[in-house]
Structure 1
Amino acid sequence: MNELVSIITPSYNTAKFIGKTIESVQNQTYQNWEMIIVDDCSTDNTDEVVDGYLSDKRIKYIKNEKNSGAAVSRNRALREAKGKWITFLDSDDLWSPEKLEKQIKFMSENGYHFSYTNYEEIDEQGKSTGTKVTGPKKVSKQGMYNYCYPGCLTVMYDAESVGLVQIQDIKKNNDYAMWLKVCQKADCWLLDEYLGQYRKGRSGSISSHSIKTMIGWHYKLWHEAESKNAVMSIWYTCWNLVFGYLKKKKYVEKNEA
């Protein structure tokens, strides 16, 4: 259990949060990692904040030449990645200190090549919203087509088994597009522990948009990223809505924060 972990972190205007995100990586009990931050032409002081952490040589900071979106940023980081294990952490989310150690052990001991964990939601100020999210013990290829169960900040896969993943340039749902590629090679298994904190409701984040807008993004996912025809794209979009409702009923727990 000493293989290199590559952490994929796209960044855009998250100067307010990215320092805490980096610190949650530095505080990992598992220390053999590289964090690849790809900044998408931020207009705030993200450069200044990240610069304060670059004395840690495990952190690599790359800047896009033009604003291109998270899909392009993730693709670029994945091409740079050298680790056996590939993980994802957006620049406003957080990990628990034992996240990497526990997930690598879980996968190594069970021979899994693709996994995810539970996570909790926090608000823009970093306070718990009282919402906890889990999922099925096993997400097969068909299960992944039904719905995007894994939270992006919780996913890990074995690059030696899965290979290089690159997706189409879609503006939203690009994490889901990645899991649809990975699930062609491996089932996704749940480590049933809460090991991440997802920041929900931040201005400009996907969770702040309307249902109508999100339906449009799902259609583009299937039509553009997965090259489905119009009929099949509508079918899978509707299927996602059904299973999204079922996920909220079965796998999302809401309590008073």
Structure 2
Amino acid sequence: MDNREIIDGLVSVIMPSWNTGRYIAESIQSVINQTYQNWELIIVDDCSTDNTNDVVNSFKDNRIKYYHNSSNSGAAITRNRALREAKGEWIAFLDSDDLWMPEKLEHQLKFMKENGYVLSFTEYEKINEESAPINVYVTGPRVVSKRRIYNYDYIGQLTMIYNAKEFGLIQIKDIKKNNDYAIRLQLYQKPGTCAYLLNENLAKYRVRKVSISHDKFRKKFKSHYDLFHQCDERPAVVAIWYACWNMFFGILKKRNYEKRT
């Protein structure tokens, strides 16, 4: 049973961190720079061995809540802990190497409130390790239904916002990859769930050399299979089917929704 305190109007920003001392200051600053100021930033560090701790502690803002895992636990467990600490009516996500535009929260919340949406996402662009644009612009379908989310994860984690009163506490199983996709699949267990696209570029996704996007086909396929079999508890044959479908729609997504500028 979810007995957490929920504060109306508050946005809880979920930020897991692990050895991102090089980037996290810029990510935190992009939250501080929001034109919508009613937020809390929940950072959970997964036993970083670099200077992440010093960088985060250099920020003196009582809206920043900083927690540490007692042992290295992985992204899924880290996000779960952050979600348990969240008190906001709205839940947003920003990884500790990605960035938001200043109007991100203001524009997206206005879009959701005016239309009565409880789940939304936006367009975003890709940047390199030096924060420079690489001229790739990512959009998506106007509406992402349950059928569509099982075809492919069209929703960028750094752009998603959902209403915590509507969906309750989300917790996922401990899978090593695709745990952001697993959060979406949990949201879609609620009947009638759809996500709506705000046609604005409001975030910057950092492409790094360690990104899963550089994995080979076999590793990508296995990570999708594990998602559907272990986390979504689908039979092996169904998990294989969904994994194949995801690989196919991933190709279509790049063709239809990723544009070079």
Normalised TM-score (structure 2): 0.95
Distance, in Å, in 2 between the alignment partners of 1:165 and 1:20 is 27
Per the TM alignment, residue 50 of structure 1 is displaced from its structure 2 partner at its CA by: 0.4
Q: Does 2:255 correspond to 1:240? A: no
Match of 1:70 among 63, 70, 75: 75
Counterparts of 1:216-255 in structure 2, within 5 Å, are 216-255=222-261
Q: Does 2:198 correspond to 1:191? A: yes
Distance, in Å, in 2 between the alignment partners of 1:206 and 1:107 is 31
Instruction: Give the root-mean-square deviation of aligned CA atoms.
Output: 0.9
Gaps of 5+ in 1: none
Distance, in Å, in 2 between the alignment partners of 1:153 and 1:127 is 18
The match for 1:164 is 169
Distance, in Å, in 1 between the alignment partners of 2:214 and 2:127 is 14
Distance, in Å, in 1 between the alignment partners of 2:233 and 2:148 is 19
* Alignment coverage as a number of residue pairs: 252
Q: Which amino acid aligns with 2:124?
A: Y
Q: Does 2:133 correspond to 1:128? A: yes
SS of 1:116 mapped into structure 2:
strand
Per the TM alignment, residue 161 of structure 1 is displaced from its structure 2 partner at its CA by: 0.5
Per the TM alignment, residue 236 of structure 1 is displaced from its structure 2 partner at its CA by: 0.2
The match for 1:146 is 151
The match for 1:8 is 14
Gaps of 5+ in 2: 1-7
Per the TM alignment, residue 5 of structure 1 is displaced from its structure 2 partner at its CA by: 0.2
Distance, in Å, in 2 between the alignment partners of 1:240 and 1:56 is 41
Per the TM alignment, residue 17 of structure 1 is displaced from its structure 2 partner at its CA by: 0.1
Cα deviation digits, residues 203-257 of structure 1 (max 9, x gap): 32222322221111111001110011110010000010111111111111023xx
The match for 1:39 is 45
| Stretches (4+) displaced over 3 A | none
The match for 1:92 is 97
Q: Which amino acid aligns with 1:198?
A: Y
